[in-house]
Chains A and B, each alone.
Chain A
Amino acid sequence: MDISFSLLGNAIVSGLLLGGFYAAVTIGISISFGMLDIVNIAHPAFIILGSYGAYFANSQLGVDPIVASLVLTPAFYLLGAGIYEVYHRSFERRGDASMRGLAFFFGLLFITEVVLVLVFGVDYRLVRAIYIGPSLHFGEIEVPLRLLVPAVASLAMIGGLYLFLSRSFIGRAIQAVAQDQGALRLMAADPVRIKRIAFALSIATASVGGAILIVIQPVEPSLGREYIGRVFAIAVLGGLGSFAGTVVAAMVLGIMESLTATFYGPSWSPAVAFGFLLLALAVKPSGMFGR
């Protein structure tokens, strides 16, 4: 009994920490897919790009991976702004964004992977940091710093973004832009500019998300594909565009996967997690925090 209680506690704690990581890699999708209706399936590839950015700074310069990723966010922001500009001119403005846009982002996914393979090779890469290794102990519960530091960094990033989106003029316009672009023009805001800023922000989060990923596990160029299903599932489950929903859904999915892995074996965890997603959406189609 005692043993299973500590197993349960540990499974819940690591599930929460895993959820913190999931939230970091999903928050970009919550912006691009949830708020802008842009199906950026290449997002996980940009996460991996973020991982390699952190890896490069860490292995060459010895900088902490998460600090390095923060320094790199302006570069990712500009990359995102550039991608949006191409997407907008080629697809969105012509009104055939849905299917062709999907193909465009598929292309970006492969291009990013191929570039990473050419530059860094196909081997798994990892980073060094003082918090990789040690753990905190609370009685029977073990909290690895390797998971705790990324989870805290993730929540800090999401909290900052939340404040920006709810308190600033640009942020409120971002929340409105998918609802009625014409009406946004009547607020003296250029919807294309607003969407460019929002999409660029979503890509900027991939820098930090990538660093968090490579702190948690070794990374190779095509690893992002494993996360495509999961990140979209979390964004939908949370309620599109809701940050609180994204965090809660990420935590719920993390805990479910962790519990399943602990008590039934890791191979069951995706099935249980996606089963839960389907059930939840059957009960509340707009997601947990959907408006």
Chain B
Amino acid sequence: MASSLTIEGVSAGYGAVRVLEDVSVSVGAGQTVALLGTNGNGKSTLMKCVMGMVRPFAGRITAEIDGTRHELVGRSTEAIVDLGIAFVPEGRRLFPRLTVTENLMLGAFRKTARAAIARNLDFCFETFPRLKERRGQLAGSMSGGEQQMLALGRALMSAPRILLIDEPSVGLAPVLVRRTIDKIKELKDGFQLTVLMAEQNFTQAIRIADRGYVIVHGQIAFEGGSAEELNNNELIRKFYLGL
């Protein structure tokens, strides 16, 4: 059964600084939704709100996971992950002095994930052969692209239903960006995930997204029902692509 995520009227910030103003985003079951916008517009903050890392001033965030509705605001991060919502954060946040395998195994800490650990590990190594080659290597000693693969693999080890990815392309060479985005699509199909992805790289993100939101100064400036709609929108060309 598929899972979905609904963000309704969320306002949030840090101290007196308001970053998000009445933001509503919905990610339907089995969809890949792109959250588009340049740096400093609130993409990361919105993701942190979903993950319980930033507490919104107002609004509701609900996740429907395999037919059960869960209110997310007020829950701890670990409790949210335990529901089946995984997050690949900005900067990847790997455990640098643990090996690739140890990082992946930590991903499966969640009780529900432990039963499927062998299958998920196989899947990770199949999808990212490089991780298999480097499984005994310390995570901190790998290249940026390899670290991004490990971060994705580790998130998948928790056998999530919903996956949030913050800026998968940041710091990667253009050829790797393309490959990473392809891999996300592959993982999404393989695990039947529901994906919310924040991305600056509009053209890459839109390749795999079913729908998209453009966020400008903490507000949703445009909601596109399809990739074409996003591509051909006047607002996007003006505010976002600078054309």
Residues in A lying within 8 Å of B, measured CB to CB: 169, 172-173, 175-176, 179-180, 182-190, 291
Contact = CB atoms under 8 A, between A and B. Distances in A.
20 contacts: A169-B109, A169-B114, A172-B102, A172-B105, A175-B98, A176-B98, A176-B102, A179-B97, A180-B94, A182-B53, A182-B77, A182-B93, A185-B81, A187-B78, A187-B81, A187-B110, A188-B109, A189-B78, A189-B109, A291-B138
Contacts of B94: 180, 183
Nearest to B110: A188
B221 interface: no
Given A169-B109, A188-B158, A179 B96 contact: yes
A182 B52 CA distance: 11
Interface size of B as a range: 20 to 34
A175 B102 contact: yes
Interface string B74-94: 001111011000110100011
Contacts of A173: 106, 109
A185 B109 contact: no
Nearest to B101: A172
Contacts of A176: 95, 98, 102, 106
A188 B87 CA distance: 11
Contact of A188 (B81, B93, B96, B105): B81
A187 B103 CA distance: 10
A181 to B, nearest CB: 10
A190 B52 CA distance: 13
B168 interface: no
A185 B77 contact: yes
Given A169-B114, A180-B95, A182-B93, A187 B106 contact: yes
A186 B93 contact: yes
B93 A190 contact: no
Nearest to B157: A187
B81 to A, nearest CB: 4
Contacts of B214: none
B242 to A, nearest CB: 34
Contacts of B86: 186
Contact of A186 (B81, B96, B102): B81
Nearest to B88: A186
B51 interface: yes
A186 B77 contact: yes
Nearest to B114: A169
